[in-house]
Amino acid sequence: MKYFSSLRIKLFAWITALILTFVLFSLFMNSQFLKPYYMSIQKNQHIEISNNLSELYPGKEEELQLEIERIERLGGYRVAIFDKNKRLLFDTTISTADRTLRQPPPPHDNPQLMNAQTPLNVSFDAIKNEGYIFHESHDHRLNINFLEMYTILDDDKILLLSGQIDSMKNSIEITKRFFMFTGIITVIIGSIAAMLISRKFTKPITELKAIAMSMSHLDFSHKYQVTSEDEIGELGTSINSLSNQLNRSITDLRKANKKLKQDIEKERKIDQMRKEFVSNVSHELKTPISLIQGYAEGLKLNIVDNETDKNYYCEVIIDEALKMENHVKELLDLSQLESGLFRIEYSKFDITELIKEIITKYDRRLKENKINLTYSEASTIMVFADKIRIEQIIINYLNNAINHIDKEKKIDISLSAMGPNRIKLSVFNSGSHIPENDLEKIWDSYYKVDKARTRAYGGTGLGLSIVKAIQEKHGSKYGVKNIEDGVLFWIELKSASESSQ
Ligand SMILES: Nc1ncnc2c1ncn2[C@@H]1O[C@H](COP(=O)(O)OP(=O)(O)O)[C@@H](O)[C@H]1O
Ligand SMILES: [Mg+2]
């Protein structure tokens, strides 16, 4: 059903039907009008001949004789002349020897002439009135059909012109058959041509349809090859540009949609993180507050009576208050760093000097803990960064190293060049490795690998997230790796030679 409704089939059917109609029409015209047309031509010929003859008679009898012979020989005509009373004066059907046109016509006595006389059942007056009278007759003797014409010659004679019409009928038959034959061939060739034409015309439309179809499935990879400048070419061009535009818009939409989804996901994560953060903060503050509350109440109720115990109570309260103060400081620091308002204060300074200052401050604590700290760099190394923040990072790393040190109790601080403009600062401490799974997470706020241990040294889990925030503000990298016998934390610094301007 779909096949028959296709444009190609329709076009083919229409062209073929048109050709068939024309062929049938011409066959119909042939069969209906060929014979009358032929007859009218024949009649005109009769009239023309008779006009020629009447120009020659009377007066030029000899030329007339010649003309009649010519007509007889050339066209197979019979020419006969009668007088007013229908008596035969001359007839080409009688032997040539007797053919003399009598002038004036004597009473008829030639027996041969008598025989040849045609039964003339039209009157002289009727012929005179009509001018020409035609009549189809059949010669039984010869079995031939004739077209006879009677007209007036020289006012008082009747001219009979008779030409056979069988050959004409034959020709008509042949013509009809030939027309039939050419008609069939025309239809066959015509339908093949119609097929080719319809294919040629519908091929680009079929192609365009396929392109539009794939466009509806959001496939814009197919393009129409424009080869003509006609309406189809123009349609192809507009479909191509439509496809391009749609492709662009849909790609944009998809991108926007993807971005939106990512934004929503990010928002959701941020929200989640905020909730976790708040719950972490309150959880972390709850413990020291309840400790302080408990010990303060104990003191108030005089639970302990000796000085040593009282001192112990006071120390716990002071200690917990200090921890809380530290915690709040770190929290404020972090929230300041993470707020959009925070600006890094860049300056040029000697990192070696800074490290040495910090080590000096830690001297007592290191000795107390029997830690062997090494820093072998002696030369001045200028960096371009926020000095206070870098100091904060080093202190954080060093504190962590002291808090997690183990085995041979070694800490090593070192500097190394990372390409022309970067310097890597590393803090190594001997001790156990951080589980691989936690290497990423320790940079999140409040994340602690071992909660009990962290609590023991009074950690909050905020130090590394502060390091991370500072480095991100600097646009520099940071990291940690487990190496032989311990862990190594590092940051990257901009060398001052590059960024001093
Ligand atoms: N040098 C280190 N060796 C082993 N673990 C470490 C080291 N430094 C940090 N960590 C782990 O990373 C966690 C997060 O560190 P940090 O953010 O500085 O918090 P805090 O020091 O308050 O515990 C620590 O709780 C600890 O589990
Ligand atoms: Mg820390």
Give the position, in ligand 1's atom list, of the atom nearest the Cα of 448. Answer: 25
Choose among 75, 82, 274, 239: nearest CA to 160: 82
Pick one of 3.30.420.40, 3.90.1150.10, 3.30.450.20, 3.30.1240.10 as the CATH number of 7-172.
3.30.450.20
Q: For a pLDDT cut of 70, what percent of the chain falls above it?
A: 93
Between the CA of residue 42 and those of 118, 165, 229, 346, what are the distances in Å?
21, 9, 55, 121
Average pLDDT over residues 220-225: 90
Average pLDDT over residues 113-135: 74
pLDDT-derived band at 100 (thresholds 50, 70, 90) equals low
Residue nearest (by alpha carbon) to ligand 1 atom 9: 400
Give the pair of three-digit tokens for residue 214. 């794939």
Give the position, in ligand 1's atom list, of the atom nearest the Cα of 404. Answer: 3
Ligand nearest to the CA of 401: 1
Evaluate whether 290 touches 296 at the Cβ level (below 8 Å).
Answer: no
Answer with the residue of higher pLDDT: 419 or 331: 331
- For ligand 2, the distance from its centroid to the CA atom of residue 456, given in whole angstroms, is 12
Evaluate whether 149 touches 43 at the Cβ level (below 8 Å).
Answer: yes
Average pLDDT over residues 99-116: 47
pLDDT tens sequence across 419-438: 888 999 999 999 999 999 99
- For ligand 1, the distance from its centroid to the CA atom of residue 447, given in whole angstroms, is 8
1, pLDDT greater than 70 = no
Average pLDDT over residues 72-86: 85
Span(s) in the chain for CATH 3.30.450.20: 7-172
pTM: 0.55
4, pLDDT greater than 80 = no
As assigned by CATH, the class of the 344-499 domain is alpha beta
pLDDT tens sequence across 466-486: 999 999 999 999 999 999 999
52, pLDDT greater than 70 = yes
Span(s) in the chain for CATH 3.30.565.10: 344-499
Ligand nearest to the CA of 469: 1
Per residue in 163-188, is it b (16+ CB within 10 Å) or e — as a string? Answer: bbbeebeeebeeeeeebeeebeebbe
Across all residues in the chain, what is the average pLDDT? 87
pLDDT in the model for residue 108: 45
To test the pocket of ligand 1, the residue of 448, 462, 481, 488 to mutate (highest count of ligand atoms within 8 Å of its CB) is 448
pLDDT tens sequence across 332-378: 999 899 888 888 999 999 999 999 999 999 999 999 999 999 998 88
